[in-house]
Amino acid sequence: MKSLIVSLLLFSCPLFAQYSNISLLDQLRLEIEEQDASGTFLMAGNTADVSELEEMDKVEFLQRAIVSLAVERYSTFAGDPYLHKDFGHGVLRNLSMATFPLSHLNYNAYSGRVEYRNGDNWIEFRPDYFPRIEFDEGQKGTKTLVYGLLPDYPGHYSVLLFSGDNIRAAIHRKVFTFENKTYDAGPVATRFAPKDFLYVFVDGKWKQTSFKAKALTKDLGFSNEVMGFIKSHKLNPGDVEDLQKILAFADGL
């Protein structure tokens, strides 16, 4: 397993030159001095002791943070449970916000774990070691996932969509499964069925809301003002970019 970790580090670092020119092993020694404003609020309570990173060899830290996976475990499933179509670039952050940039990452919304896949090497990362993940989405920017963010899903990551002075919003992808009853399905016995749920944090608590304007504006408060903003700018709450504009406007009211 140790050889797998070493090869993972060596293979991943050159692909992440855009994040830093130093090696991943050197990056493990860095600690971000200031967390972003949402950091303390977002971190889950059940996390690995920060001091472990200082006391352990960095490779040993990664060894303790991963679990090997069976490559063919979804061979009888149709579809897939992943957040992104392809495994790509991302940054793992531990509790102290130290960065672990890697390629070949994806989030499995069915298991609630972040996975690394490269050839026959397939592993998942323990969320208590890495409670925050940032996926590079190119021109779209960064998609941030936080473990234990939503009380309804304490054992999963959720996408932090917006974090303002008064309002926060998150999207949780839940993957359902159902039996495939098609006679010509062959070996496929089960299908994945993903569905996204929108949550807003207002008045000190998370609340499930809707991607539909009427329900969303009611839950955000200032219904008339927010609805007027949506109509005048012809925004669609079901579109992520439009939704972020709506949230930013409501946060400023």
Q: Report pLDDT digits (tens) over 10-40.
A: 444 433 333 333 333 343 333 222 323 333 3
**pLDDT score recorded for residue 185:** 53
Instruction: State how beta strands 190-202 and 168-179 pair.
Output: antiparallel
Q: Is 217 exposed, middle or buried (0-12, 13-18, 19+ CB in 10 A)?
A: buried
The predicted model scores a pTM of: 0.77
User: Which position has the higher pLDDT, 153 or 78?
Assistant: 153
Whole-number Cα distances in Å, 95 to 46, 83, 122: 10, 23, 24
pLDDT, tens digit, for every residue of 164-175?
999 999 999 999
Which of 28, 24, 145 lies closest to 84 in space, CA to CA? 145
The residue ranges of DSSP E strands in 148-220, in sequence order, are 157-163, 168-179, 190-202, 205-208
The per-residue b/e assignment along 56-84, b for 16 or more CB within 10 angstroms, e otherwise, is eebeebbeebbeebeeeebeebbebbbbe
Residue 40 DSSP SS3: helix
What string of DSSP letters covers 128-143? Answer: TT--EEEEE-GGG-EE
Q: What is the mean pLDDT of the chain?
A: 79
